[in-house]
Amino acid sequence: MADVIVTKFGGSSLASGKQFKKVKEIVTANPSRRYVVPSAPGKRSSDDHKITDLLYMCHQLADHGIDSGEVFKVIADRIRGIHKELGLSVDIESELHRVRQQIGSGASAEFVASRGEYLSGVLLADYLDYPFIDAADVIIFSEAGILDREATKAALEERLGNTSQAVIPGFYGADSKGQVHTFSRGGSDVTGAVIADGVGADLYENWTDVPGFLKADPRIVKEAPPIERVTYKELRELSYMGAAVLHEEAIFPVRDRGIPIHIRNTNRRDDAGTLIIDDRKAAGFEGVTGIAGKKDFTVISLEKTLMDDERGFFRKLLSVFETNGISIAHMPSGIDSVSVIVPSEEIRFKQNKVLEELRIYARPDAIQIEDNMALVAIVGRGMVRVPGIAAKIFGALAQAKVNIRMITQGASEMSIIVGVENRDFNNAIAAIAEVEF
């Protein structure tokens, strides 16, 4: 059993008093779950509102000189309802009154948005009988809003050194002047990872409302099986291509320490979930880990004789995209040709300018642009060293009558990326998911 577990609960896990009770059962079932990171209460049903969304709405109204009382009442009633159902003793009315005043007195959008996690933490700390530690005191940002990991580690060591248990709200922190800053949406995942790193946890648990990472998008592949084990690198590959359960920035703090992350389902506690492990502890090829993808890429293909002998060619090529603020997803090349694959939305209104600059700086013999391409990534550690994997992928796509526009191998040697037409995206993923590797 792990000695120290940092346990983060998502908004759906704290959406109601009933969900809070599940959280307490989980925390008390294992005494190693010593540091708990709550999100703001999420939706109770599909037509409900997340507390964070309502807080943003309050700020927008106040910012335009419009009374936010009606919207804030919805927030307050939710918080009061949880407080009453759990029979808590904390003075929640004073907390709500203070937040209401702060909104009315011109508090920043980040501060207002962070109050969902703050109030959730106040309730949960009282319910678990754990000390409450304000994230503003231990999650340290620069004045520019960038997480200061060294200062955060020092603050965590100082504050938690003699505190064996605590509830620390997710999503926000503060700079040296006390100004509150937030991570991007879903940032409570990052808070949990930073705390796990800071306390040297043996495990970081992330409790949510899904069974973990699935092998493929369940909207495309019905009954897609969960991925029980995945490495940090595999997860990065899948997340980059659109698989989203965990905030992508949550990986880095724990990866550096080799702390595993366990994605679990609050509503199905006996499910295995997904364990994210250190790359060095992983075995070799165990099959395809997962399949993910994105639509709407544009391909700019250039041909130039003796391109590979021309010094500075790729620098000139890349500088055009850099100066136009366009990120490059992939860049497969041959001896006399190269294709640059970029997100369509980033080049849509700059297409003519980019093409003209490429003609001036790169001086290609020919240049061609094509839209409506989707990328599908097949990810698995050690996969590219196993004979026959690519043949099975291409055979499945051919059988499904999916035309392949591009093939590239990731530099990590754990992914094969296939370019297909947007219209073939779902069929491609479904066909590959059926293959026995």
Is the pLDDT reported for residue 1 higher than 50? no
Q: At which residue do the structure tokens 């099975």 appear?
A: 392
Domain shared by 17 and 123, yes or no: yes
Domain shared by 57 and 173, yes or no: yes
Domain shared by 193 and 217, yes or no: yes
- Which residues carry a binding-site annotation for substrate? 52, 117
Q: Which residues contact 394 (CB under 8 A, 6 or more apart)?
A: 404
Quick check: 121 and 38 in contact, CB under 8 A? Answer: yes
C-alpha radius of gyration, the chain, whole number: 25
- What CATH number corresponds to the domain at position 308? 3.30.2130.10
Strands (E), 186-245: 203-208, 229-231
In a domain, residue 112? The reply is yes
Domain shared by 251 and 303, yes or no: no
User: Six-digit token pair at 209?
Assistant: 């409302």
Q: What is the pLDDT of residue 162?
A: 87
Is the pLDDT reported for residue 284 higher than 70? no
Is the pLDDT reported for residue 353 higher than 90? yes
In a domain, residue 56? The reply is yes
Domain shared by 364 and 232, yes or no: no
- Which residues carry a binding-site annotation? 8-11, 52, 117, 208-209, 219
User: Six-digit token pair at 322?
Assistant: 């850099």
Secondary structure (DSSP) of 90-112: S-HHHHHHHHHHHHHTT--HHHH
Domain shared by 267 and 305, yes or no: no
Judged by DSSP in three states, 7 sits in strand
Is the pLDDT reported for residue 327 higher than 50? yes
Q: What is the pLDDT of residue 409?
A: 77
Q: Which of 229, 251, 275 is the last residue of a domain?
A: 275
Q: Which of 230-239, 388-397, 402-411 has the highest mean pLDDT?
A: 388-397
In a domain, residue 281? The reply is no
Quick check: 228 and 272 in contact, CB under 8 A? Answer: yes
Q: pLDDT (tens digit, 9 = 90+) per residue, 89-105?
A: 999 999 999 999 999 99
Q: What is the pLDDT of residue 256?
A: 85
Rounded to whole angstroms, the Cα distance separating 243 from 264 reads 16
Rounded to whole angstroms, the Cα distance separating 58 from 75 reads 10
Q: Which of 226, 248, 275 is the last residue of a domain?
A: 275
Domain shared by 227 and 295, yes or no: no
Q: Give the residue from 75, 7, 65, 74 showing the smallest Cα distance to 37.
A: 7
Structural domain range at position 300? 290-433
- What CATH number corresponds to the domain at position 165? 3.40.1160.10
- Which residues carry a binding-site annotation for ATP? 8-11, 208-209, 219
In a domain, residue 343? The reply is yes
This prediction's pTM: 0.87
Q: What is the dihedral of CA 277, 8, 16, 81, to 10 degrees?
A: 180
In a domain, residue 9? The reply is yes
Domain shared by 362 and 229, yes or no: no
Is the pLDDT reported for residue 129 higher than 50? yes
Judged by DSSP in three states, 340 sits in strand
CA distances from 323 to 124, 297, 319 (A): 48, 19, 6
Q: What is the pLDDT of residue 238?
A: 85
Q: What is the dihedral of CA 375, 380, 381, 383, to 10 degrees?
A: -90
**Residue type at 21?**
K
Tally of CB atoms within 10 A around 58: 28
Domain shared by 305 and 270, yes or no: no
Q: pLDDT (tens digit, 9 = 90+) per residue, 38-69?
A: 999 999 999 999 999 999 999 999 999 999 99
What's the chain's length in residues?
Answer: 437
Give me the number of domains the chain comprises: 2
In a domain, residue 280? The reply is no
Q: Which of 244, 275, 306 is the last residue of a domain?
A: 275
Is the pLDDT reported for residue 206 higher than 50? yes
Domain shared by 270 and 345, yes or no: no
Domain shared by 85 and 231, yes or no: yes
In a domain, residue 283? The reply is no
Q: What is the mean pLDDT of the chain?
A: 92
In a domain, residue 285? The reply is no
